[in-house]
């Protein structure tokens, strides 16, 4: 059974019900359009049967056609929207339309009669316009395409104020779905008085532009060695850029953070 989110929309004529179903996929399913179509059809059948049972008990039909089908001409179903959320890292290369799964002949005279079914696909493996989302789901989905490039991830969140005031649930979801559970270890250190979490500053304590965790010890050892040998800040920053592939800005940020952490800002 698909998880449904019930949405009520109030209009001058009354409330309208919307049913939104979410199917999360970490791997590509090459039968996804068919699955989504089946989910929708099963829900419409469930609604229709419920109406038929209700009509059968009331027995109020205007004609033989209504009585035979147990559906009145005025009966209506609630629309269903099945959404596939793909949060895998590899690009989605599966079908997005039912027609993508069909075996059509080159010159098929019946091709124009085929009624297609486009599924609703949200891809977290590539950037898209997430402005349509009004909840913190926007921040979660928007950061997922940068899972392979932490430098770009930090640059991206640094340009958006929303990542400096995340709620706990969103921070946890981002940590899990970006495979960066380390974000949760010191999360409370980056919480403000309103209970909001600053993900940008917190990321700076774990990895700066392009720095992988496995390189951390070597980088720190290099900086300490250079400090002991009297190297200037500029010289150390150049080495970070040259030997560890950091950008000028990234090297400057990393060194600044390191010196603050070690309490040696005044000595260099």
**DSSP label at 92?**
P
245 pLDDT band, cuts 50/70/90, is: low
When pLDDT is averaged across residues 121-135 and rounded to a whole number, the result is 81
210 pLDDT band, cuts 50/70/90, is: very low
**How high is the pLDDT of residue 6?**
55
More confident residue, 186 or 172: 172
Q: What is this structure's pTM?
A: 0.64
**How high is the pLDDT of residue 208?**
47
153 pLDDT band, cuts 50/70/90, is: confident
When pLDDT is averaged across residues 50-55 and rounded to a whole number, the result is 96
* Cα–Cα dist 196/163, whole Å: 9
When pLDDT is averaged across residues 51-68 and rounded to a whole number, the result is 94
When pLDDT is averaged across residues 191-219 and rounded to a whole number, the result is 70
Q: Which residues of 148-183 are buried (b: 16+ CB within 10 A; e: fewer)?
A: eebbebbbbbbeeeebbebeeebbbbbbebbebeeb
Q: What percentage of the chain carries pLDDT values higher than 90? A: 31
| Token pair belonging to 121 | 């696909």
* Cα–Cα dist 60/74, whole Å: 12
DSSP 122-168: EETTS----TT--STHHHHHHHGGGTT-HHHHHHHHHT-GGGGSB-H
Across the chain, mean pLDDT equals 83
* Cα–Cα dist 46/100, whole Å: 28
Q: Are residues 141 and 124 in contact, defined by beta-carbon separation less than 8 angstroms?
A: yes
- Tokens 């909840």 identify what position? 135
Express each pLDDT in 134-152 by its tens digit.
Answer: 788 888 888 888 887 777 8
**How high is the pLDDT of residue 156?**
87
**How high is the pLDDT of residue 71?**
95
Ordered alpha helix ranges (H), the chain: 32-58, 64-69, 137-143, 150-158, 168-177, 199-204, 216-228, 233-244, 248-262
Name the most confidently modeled range: 15-19, 86-90, 94-98, 102-106: 94-98
More confident residue, 58 or 132: 58
């Amino acid at each position: 059974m698909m998880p449904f989110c019930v949405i009520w929309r109030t209009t001058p004529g009354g409330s309208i019900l919307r049913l939104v179903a979410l199917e999360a996929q970490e791997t590509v399913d090459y039968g996804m359009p068919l699955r989504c179509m089946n989910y929708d059809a099963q829900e419409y059948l469930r609604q229709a049967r419920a109406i038929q049972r209700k009509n059968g008990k009331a027995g109020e039909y205007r004609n033989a056609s209504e009585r035979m089908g147990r559906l009145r001409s005025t009966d209506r179903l609630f629309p269903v929207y099945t959404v596939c959320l793909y949060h895998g890292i590899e690009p989605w290369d599966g079908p997005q339309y039912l027609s993508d799964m069909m075996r059509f002949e080159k010159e098929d005279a019946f091709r124009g009669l085929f009624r297609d079914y486009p599924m609703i696909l949200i891809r977290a493996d590539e950037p898209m316009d997430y402005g349509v989302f009004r909840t913190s789901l926007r921040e979660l989905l928007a950061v997922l395409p940068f899972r392979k490039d932490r430098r770009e991830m930090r640059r991206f969140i640094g340009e958006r104020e929303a990542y400096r005031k995340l709620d706990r649930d969103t921070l946890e979801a981002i940590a899990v779905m970006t495979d960066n559970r380390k974000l949760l270890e010191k999360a409370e250190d980056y919480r403000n008085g309103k209970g909001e979490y600053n993900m940008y500053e917190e990321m700076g304590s774990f990895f700066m532009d392009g720095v992988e965790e496995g390189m951390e010890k070597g980088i720190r050892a290099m900086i300490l060695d250079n400090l002991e040998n009297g190297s200037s800040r500029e010289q150390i920053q150049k080495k970070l850029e040259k030997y560890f592939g950091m950008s000028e800005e990234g090297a400057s940020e990393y060194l600044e953070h390191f010196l603050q952490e070690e309490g040696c800002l005044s000595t260099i």
